[in-house]
Structure 1
Amino acid sequence: MTYRRLRCAVPAVLWVAWVVFSPAAAVSAQTRTVTDPVGRTVHIPEEPRRVITLAPSLTEMVFALGAGHRVVGVSRYSNFPPQVQDLPKVGSYVQPDVEKIVALTPDLCLAVKDGNPREVVEKLERVGIPVYAVNPKNLKEVMETLTALGDVLQAQEEARKVKDRMERRLEEVDRRLRGVERRPRVFFQIGVTPIVSVGTETFAQELIHRAGGVNVAAGPEPYPRFSVEQVLALRPDVIVVSSMEREQVFETVRAEWMRWRGIPAVAFERIHLVPSDLFDRPGPRLADGLELLARILHPERFHGGF
Structure 2
Amino acid sequence: MSLRNAFALVFGFVAAHAHAITVTDDSGAAVTLAKPAERVVSLAPHVTELLFAAGGGARIVGAVTYSDYPKQAQTIPRVGDNRALDLERIVALHPDLIVVWRHGNAARQMDRLQALGVPIYFSEPKHLDDIATSIDKLGALLSTREEARASSNAFTRDIAQLRARYAERPRVSVFYQVWDDPLMTLNRDNVFDEVIGLCGGVNVFAAEKTRVPTLSTEAVLAANPEAIVTSTPGATKPDRPLPALERWQRWTSMTAVARGNLFGIDGDLINRPTPRLALGAAQLCRDLEIARERRAKN
TM-score, normalised to structure 1's length? 0.80
The corresponding residue for 2:74 is 85
Q: Would the aligned equivalents of 2:40 and 2:98 in 1 still touch at CA under 8 Å?
A: yes
The corresponding residue for 2:284 is 293
Q: Would the aligned equivalents of 1:45 and 1:108 in 2 still touch at CA under 8 Å?
A: no
Matched, 1:66 2:58: no
1:58 alignment partner, SS class: helix
1:72 alignment partner, SS class: strand
Q: Would the aligned equivalents of 2:56 and 2:139 in 1 still touch at CA under 8 Å?
A: no
Matched, 1:259 2:247: no
Match of 1:44 among 33, 45, 48: 33
Matched, 1:229 2:225: no
1:109 alignment partner, SS class: strand
Report the Cα distance in structure 1 between the residues aligned to 2:107 and 2:78, rounded to whole angstroms: 20
Report the Cα distance in structure 1 between the residues aligned to 2:113 and 2:192, rounded to whole angstroms: 32
What are the equivalent positions in structure 2 for 1:85-124 lying under 5 Å apart? 85-117=74-106, 120-124=109-113
Matched, 1:190 2:162: no
| Cα distance change, pair 265–301 in 1 and its aligned pair in 2 (3 A) | closer
The Cα of 1:80 is off from its aligned counterpart by: 1.4
| Cα distance change, pair 270–76 in 1 and its aligned pair in 2 (3 A) | same
| Cα distance change, pair 106–173 in 1 and its aligned pair in 2 (3 A) | same
1:187 alignment partner AA = F
Report the Cα distance in structure 1 between the residues aligned to 2:107 and 2:216, rounded to whole angstroms: 35
1:215 alignment partner AA = N
1:84 alignment partner AA = A
Sequence identity percentage: 35
How many residue pairs get aligned? The number is 273
Matched, 1:201 2:201: no
Report the Cα distance in structure 2 between the residues aligned to 1:144 and 1:97, rounded to whole angstroms: 29
The corresponding residue for 2:271 is 280
1:225 alignment partner AA = T
The Cα of 1:255 is off from its aligned counterpart by: 2.7
Matched, 1:169 2:133: no
Deviates more, 1:204-213 or 1:253-262: 253-262
What are the equivalent positions in structure 2 for 1:21-32 lying under 5 Å apart? 29=16, 32=20
Q: Would the aligned equivalents of 1:36 and 1:133 in 2 still touch at CA under 8 Å?
A: no
The corresponding residue for 1:127 is 116
Report the Cα distance in structure 2 between the residues aligned to 1:221 and 1:121, rounded to whole angstroms: 24
The Cα of 1:158 is off from its aligned counterpart by: 1.0
Q: Would the aligned equivalents of 2:168 and 2:200 in 1 still touch at CA under 8 Å?
A: no
Structure 1: which 5+ residue stretches go unaligned?
Answer: 1-27
Report the Cα distance in structure 1 between the residues aligned to 2:24 and 2:90, rounded to whole angstroms: 21
Match of 2:203 among 215, 226, 232: 215
The corresponding residue for 1:34 is 22
The corresponding residue for 1:20 is none
Structure 2: which 5+ residue stretches go unaligned?
Answer: 1-14, 294-298
TM-score, normalised to structure 2's length? 0.82
1:169 alignment partner AA = D
Q: Would the aligned equivalents of 2:234 and 2:266 in 1 still touch at CA under 8 Å?
A: no
The Cα of 1:115 is off from its aligned counterpart by: 2.7
| Cα distance change, pair 253–43 in 1 and its aligned pair in 2 (3 A) | closer
| Cα distance change, pair 176–185 in 1 and its aligned pair in 2 (3 A) | same
Deviates more, 1:231-240 or 1:275-284: 275-284
Match of 1:54 among 39, 43, 49: 43
The Cα of 1:129 is off from its aligned counterpart by: 2.3
The Cα of 1:134 is off from its aligned counterpart by: 3.1
Report the Cα distance in structure 1 between the residues aligned to 2:46 and 2:167, rounded to whole angstroms: 30
Summarize deviations over 1:18-62 as a string: whole Å, max 9, x none: xxxxxxxxxx95983524323434442513222111111110001
Backbone CA RMSD of aligned residues: 2.8
